[in-house]
A and B are shown apart, each in its own frame.
Chain A
Amino acid sequence: MNLFEKSFLYITITLLSLLTVCSKPDNKRIVLAVGGAPSEVEFWEKIAAQCTEQTGIELQLIRQPTDTDQRRQNLVTALRAKKATPDIFLMDVAWIAQFAGSNWLEPLQPFMDKHTISDTSFFESVVKQADHYDNKLIALPVYVDGGLLYYRKDLLKKYGYEKPPETWNEFIDCAKTITEKERQKNKNFVGYVWQGAQYEGLTCNFLEFAGSDKPGIVIDSSSPIIHTKRNIEAATLMRDLIEPYNISPQNTYTDMKEEEVRIAFQSGNALFERNWPYAWKLHQSEGSAVKGLTGVALLPHFKDGRSASTLGGWHIGLSRFSKQKDKAFTCIAYLLSSEVQKQFTIQLGWNPGRPDVYNDSTVLQIMQHAPILKEVFNHTVVRPVVPYYSYMSAVIQRYLNAVLSGKIEASAAFIDCEKELQEISRRYSK
Chain B
Amino acid sequence: MTSLKRSQDSRQYSYDWPWVTLLLGPGLFLLCLLILIPVIGTIITSTNRDITFMDGKWVGLSNYAELFKDTAFRQSLRFTISFIAVSVPLELLFGLGLSLLMNYKSSFRGIIRSLVLIPWAIPAVISGRIWELIYNVNYGLANYIIEQFGFEKINWLGTSSGAFWAIIIADLWKTIPFVAIILLAGLSSIPETLYQQAQIDGASFFRRFYSITLPLLRPVIVVALLFRTIDALRIFDLVFILTSGGPGGSTTSLSQLGFKYFVGGDFGYGSTLSVIIFLCALVLSLLVIKFGKFSQEAI
Residue picked from B159, B163, B247, most chain A C-beta under 10 Å: B247
A188:B139 contact, CB within 8 angstroms: yes
B26, B72, B159, B264: the one within 8 Å of A398 (CB): B72
A254:B158 contact, CB within 8 angstroms: yes
Q: Is A159 an interface residue (CB 8 A)?
A: no
Number of A-B contacts (CB under 8 A): 124
Known contacts: A388-B264, A405-B159. The answer to whether A102 contacts B53 by CB under 8 A is yes
B132, B163, B260: the one within 8 Å of A394 (CB): B260
A98:B249 contact, CB within 8 angstroms: no
Which residues from 43 to 75 on chain B have a C-beta closer than 8 Å to any C-beta of chain A? 51-55, 66, 71-72
Q: Is B209 an interface residue (CB 8 A)?
A: no
Which residues from 251 to 305 on chain A have a C-beta closer than 8 Å to any C-beta of chain B? 251, 253-255, 257
Q: Which residues of A are found within 8 Å of B259, using beta-carbon distances?
A: 69
Q: Is A24 an interface residue (CB 8 A)?
A: no
Q: For chain A, what secondary structure do more than half of its interface residues adopt (helix, strand, loop), or is it mixed? A: helix
A197, A388, A395: the one within 8 Å of B246 (CB): A197
One digit per residue, 1 when the CB lies within 8 angstroms of any chain A CB and 0 when it does not, for chain B 246-263 equals: 111100100000011111
B247:A407 contact, CB within 8 angstroms: yes
Q: Which residues of A are found within 8 Å of B38, using beta-carbon distances?
A: none
Q: Is A177 an interface residue (CB 8 A)?
A: no
B137:A249 contact, CB within 8 angstroms: yes
One digit per residue, 1 when the CB lies within 8 angstroms of any chain A CB and 0 when it does not, for chain B 20-44 equals: 0011001000100000000000000
A11, A101, A395, A399: the one within 8 Å of B53 (CB): A101
CB distance from B172 to the nearest CB of A (A): 20
Nearest to A404 among chain B residues (CB) is B247
A254:B248 contact, CB within 8 angstroms: no
A11:B72 contact, CB within 8 angstroms: no
- Considering only CB atoms and an 8 Å cut-off, how many residues of chain B contact the other chain? 41
A11, A69, A98: the one within 8 Å of B265 (CB): A98
A198:B52 contact, CB within 8 angstroms: no
B30, B72, B132, B249: the one within 8 Å of A401 (CB): B249
CA distance A174 to B101 in the complex (A): 59
Q: Which residues of A are found within 8 Å of B30, using beta-carbon distances?
A: 14
Q: Which residues of B are found within 8 Å of A391, using beta-carbon distances?
A: 260-261, 264, 266
CA distance A78 to B243 in the complex (A): 30
Q: Which residues of A are found within 8 Å of B295, using beta-carbon distances?
A: none
Q: Is B136 an interface residue (CB 8 A)?
A: yes
Nearest to A197 among chain B residues (CB) is B244
B246:A390 contact, CB within 8 angstroms: no
A80:B52 contact, CB within 8 angstroms: yes
Known: A14-B30, A198-B246, A250-B158. 11 other contacts (CB 8 A): A76-B263, A80-B267, A98-B53, A103-B53, A251-B136, A255-B157, A388-B266, A391-B261, A394-B72, A398-B252, A428-B51
B residues within 8 Å of A by Cβ?
A: 22-23, 26, 30, 51-55, 66, 71-72, 132, 136-139, 153, 155, 157-160, 163, 243-249, 252, 259-267
